Amino acid sequence: MAYHCATYGLGHLGIPNGDARLICDGCGLVRGVQKPSGMPYAWLLNRKAAPGWAAEFTEDNRMDWCPRCREKTGR
């Protein structure tokens, strides 16, 4: 799954802290999903791909590809 929610204070469980983010399912490139105000971008809430990225949605999962991997896979 490409979307990872924000995690804070879970180090004792072995989960690294971090902001909400998309991770390219091709190369692992990370892209933030929050505006400087801390609110999520509308494209995330509307189940759309990030600008320049490609996304594929199923009932319970999403896959995302960065611009470089999008071109490689033809998406």
Helix (H, G, I), strand (E, B) or coil at 64: strand
Task: Report whether pLDDT(1) > 60.
Answer: no
**What global pTM score does this model have?**
0.76
Question: What are the tens digits of pLDDT across the range 7-50?
Answer: 777 767 776 777 888 989 999 999 999 999 989 999 999 999 99
CB 65 within 8 A of CB 49: no
pLDDT at 56: 92
Please give the Cα distance from 43 to 30 (Å, whole number): 16
Residue type, 70: R
Which region among 38-42, 62-66, 71-75 has the lowest average model confidence (pLDDT)?
Answer: 71-75
The 3-state DSSP composition of the chain as helix, strand, coil percent (nearest 5) reads 20, 25, 55
Q: Within 13 Å of residue 31, how many CA atoms lie on the same side as its CB?
A: 21
